[in-house]
Amino acid sequence: MSTNTPTQPRPAEPLWFLHSLSRILVDGDQTNGSFSLVEITGASGDMPPLHVHHEEDETFYVLEGRLELHIAGHEPAEVPPGRAGFAPRGIPHVYKVTSPGPARWLAATTGAGFARFVRDVAVPAKTATLPVDPQFDPEDIAAISARHGIEIIGPPGILP
């Protein structure tokens, strides 16, 4: 028998998460820490640092635009709208927005660490647009990542 109980949908407030606009749609409080779902919008060329999720798998479901998913030991995978890419826990990975305009996708994780990470790093968005000239300290981001089971391996632009 599941200990999860249905919850009412919560407003998904826009957040500036590093270079992206994000909304936490389902967080760990709603799922007893078993799942999270975050909507992310990134500009063309957006690419986070190479990283590993040690505690959860991550699925990218593209709604608009196009992503290229790089997972260690695999060929790069183009992920167009209506398709999903999967990054298993423990394997270095990174995505890049390859569409000429912004891409919008859902990041679903088996665990709630990613949504908690987004909440800890993000700031409330003043407008529901991509952030302009976001300011953050990469060392702070690496420390916050580590607290959520995410290891930063290299700077943006590094592939597995």
For residue 5, pLDDT beyond 80:
no
Q: For position 6, what pLDDT does the model report?
A: 57
Q: For position 1, what pLDDT does the model report?
A: 38
For residue 8, pLDDT beyond 70:
no
Give the tens place of pLDDT for each residue, 121-142: 999 999 999 999 898 899 999 9
Taken in order of first residue, the domains within the chain and their CATH numbers are 15-126+142-156 (2.60.120.10)
Question: Could you please report the per-residue DSSP string of the chain?
Answer: --------------EEETTEEEEEEE-HHHHTTS-EEEEEEE-TT---EEEEESS--EEEEEEES-EEEEETTS--EEE-TT-EEEE-TTS-EEEEE-SSS-EEEEEEESSSHHHHHHHHH-EE-SSSS--SS----HHHHHHHHHHTTEEEEEEET---
Give the tens place of pLDDT for each residue, 66-119: 999 999 999 999 999 999 999 999 999 999 999 999 999 999 999 888 999 999
Which pTM value belongs to this model?
0.91
